Structure 1
């Protein structure tokens, strides 16, 4: 997991910088809803690089000569320590976010009114609470604080959050930030993502509305600034002073979005995804080709020649596919082919499960090996291989 996350940091940083710049400097020309859609590039890029690794075809590997004697294991103390530190910090951050969420929901003391809507005396503006499901919570004196027009627009804003599952997406982004706690750009990106969610909701509410309605909505936002600053950032709310200033500025900006700039930026982002995908495949292939120099056998137990095959003087071979994890242990072992079918499978699988290698930087890589079961020193395998490692097993 950690190895994969580290391999994604360059792509992650580039996307986060581009999207944060769009939110901060290009908002009047692109529109908040368009920028919010661009954030889909982030999960699409990450998923593309991760999912296909297990779907790639088997590639040939050469792991060197057969060795039964155990060699000294490489030192992994530092790697182990860093993995433990990363895991501890990630769990602590996730636990802190959960505790903050749980504590805040308890402090609200929500209750249902006569219309079966949740209300609370602890908030001065509506907000969306929770994730599964997300729920709208109104102030106890909501009708007294806002005019009927303002109430309609504020509720439309919050219902847009509900309809788009903004709280759920914010929670997923927060989990990503906790897993990438060592990268400050991820936290900057999370704040930018939260702002653009709010701005996109404002655009929906104010679409085709006259200036008088926009001014009334702006007054409602200013009134909502009294909302407690202790609200966790994962909740959809009217935001802090910085976010509020940005939202008010966006209300006053009546410039129309630039469709040409939108098209150019979208095309550029799609092109970068394609380039990234190509480089990802190329880098994966390079890792496959170079791993034979990085991953070396430490201990490989010789399979036991089946007694029944010895008694009947039967020779044959078994081709196997397997993976090597980050600690050098074999797993996901499968028999690809064998002759005679099934005769040497059990002995081959039992031995391969005990093989160990040096640490593997590419744990999703597939390795193959052919074990030739030959009774005599002069015997030759009937299935010569050049594309995979070939090992002779004697009696």
Structure 2
């Protein structure tokens, strides 16, 4: 498997896992908030990056846990390329779609990163000159409202006349809200959200969920402040009403939300805070959900191609040689004088029909659609070998397939897996009854050597 193929496989698996995680979080965020509080509901968003990471982990080879003596040995399959296929395909131009899609994904990721970086830069430049304050915040003439800016070195920015527009208790609650963002590391979570949106710029669910993620973040921060100031609900609501200005987009940072989310935040202030026991139960339930869903995202992935182990002892008889039609020996220019030519030049042997895939050995295969010989490999005269581990059910059907090794890698695996899933085997017998079991099937791909006709054409 090439690097481009591996990248595309990770993108597909990661997109499916992240989308499933997003749908689950969007469905559970409000029930979790009502049952356990806003902070537990906000923690559920960790499922999205966990699912993405779990989908990128390689799945273990299911056959490695089985003892070698339980693995039956299938005699093997020989797949031959048609002798007339190479000249017809050799000149056909090929497009590496995996590489093309990988370049398109990287281009989209770069453009998305530039867009968010420009948006962040525009916000920071609009703040103007900032001066440090004694309480650790930064003040500026052009600052429109309280915010936390940056991820690696986040800082609180406030208007220079902030206290002149707010009562002392309101100003203290607003600053406590911004400091809660700093203590919780919310700006780093926003940076991770931006990175996910750049990596999966093609996934509309990630962009749709960004606003809900920010709202849950603000609600969790409000709950943190109210837990420290339980008797300041009215003052906190007044502070929200007095600072409800629209702030331009800030990708990496936390700004005091505008009136778009003000209604939900004020409604949350009317709800009683959950006790410590309820929050701990919610945290435990959330941890179980995160672990279960992450394991599911990892387990449903198709098995990855393992690294080829050291060559084992000979497992199968050598493949039968190709029929004479697959390889035409060169005709000598002039036969030796003492020996007459064995075949008259005027009567060349007609070409034999293309060879058919052969199966040898005692374990017969009832229905065997042959793998398609890859066109590029046939054109290049390239052969190879794929060793499979096949789980055969009691009815002879194929229940699972794992590529044990492939030579060369990334050439014959796909066509072999596509064909082997359609095969029907004779199941092994245990105590006179069909039983499920693993078999090892070597599949040989052999292309004919180019003859004189092919060389001249």
Q: TM-score range by the shorter chain?
A: 0.5 to 0.7
Q: 1:295 to 1:246 in 2, by over 3 A?
A: farther
**2:23 equivalent in structure 1:** 17
Aligned to 1:319: none
- Give the Cα–Cα distance (whole angstroms) in 2 for the partners of residues 287 and 294 of structure 1: 23
Are 1:218 and 2:237 counterparts? Answer: yes
Offset at 1:124?
A: 3.4
2: CA distance between counterparts of 1:64 and 1:151?
Answer: 80
> C-alpha displacement at 1:247, in angstroms?
1.2
Whether contact under 8 Å (1:156, 1:205) holds in the other structure is yes
Structure 1 segment 1-395 matched on structure 2, within 5 A: 1-52=7-58, 72=90, 75-76=94-95, 81-113=100-132, 115=134, 117-207=137-227, 209-211=229-231, 213-226=232-245, 228-254=246-272, 256=274, 264=285, 266-280=287-301, 283-284=302-303, 298=377, 299=380, 357=411
Cα RMSD, aligned residues only: 4.4
User: What is the rounded CA distance, in whole Å, between the counterparts of 1:284 and 1:152 in structure 2?
Assistant: 55
| Change in CA separation of 1:110 and 1:358 when aligned onto 2, cut-off 3 Å | farther
Instruction: Give the TM-score normalised by the residue count of structure 2.
Output: 0.57
Structure 2 stretches of 5 or more lacking a match?
Answer: 1-6, 65-70, 308-369, 384-404, 416-439, 447-457
Structure 1: give runs of 5+ residues left out of the alignment.
303-335, 337-350, 362-385
Q: How many residues align?
A: 317
Deviations 1:273-319 (A, max 9, x none): 33333323xx215999xxx96995725779xxxxxxxxxxxxxxxxx
- 1 or 2, which has the higher helix percentage? 1
Q: Structure 1 length as normaliser, TM-score?
A: 0.65
Higher gyration radius (CA): 2
> 1:276 and 1:83, CA in 2 relative to 1: closer, same or farther beyond 3 A?
closer
| 1:201, distance to aligned residue in structure 2 (A) | 1.1
Deviates more, 1:238-247 or 1:44-53: 44-53
Q: Which one has more relative contact order, counting CA pairs under 8 Å at least 6 apart?
A: 2
Quote the Cα distance in structure 1 between the aligned partners of 2:371 and 2:161.
70
Over 3 Å counting, the alpha-carbon distance change for 1:108 and 1:81 in structure 2 is same
Q: Do the aligned partners of 2:37 and 2:273 also contact (CA within 8 Å) in 1?
A: no
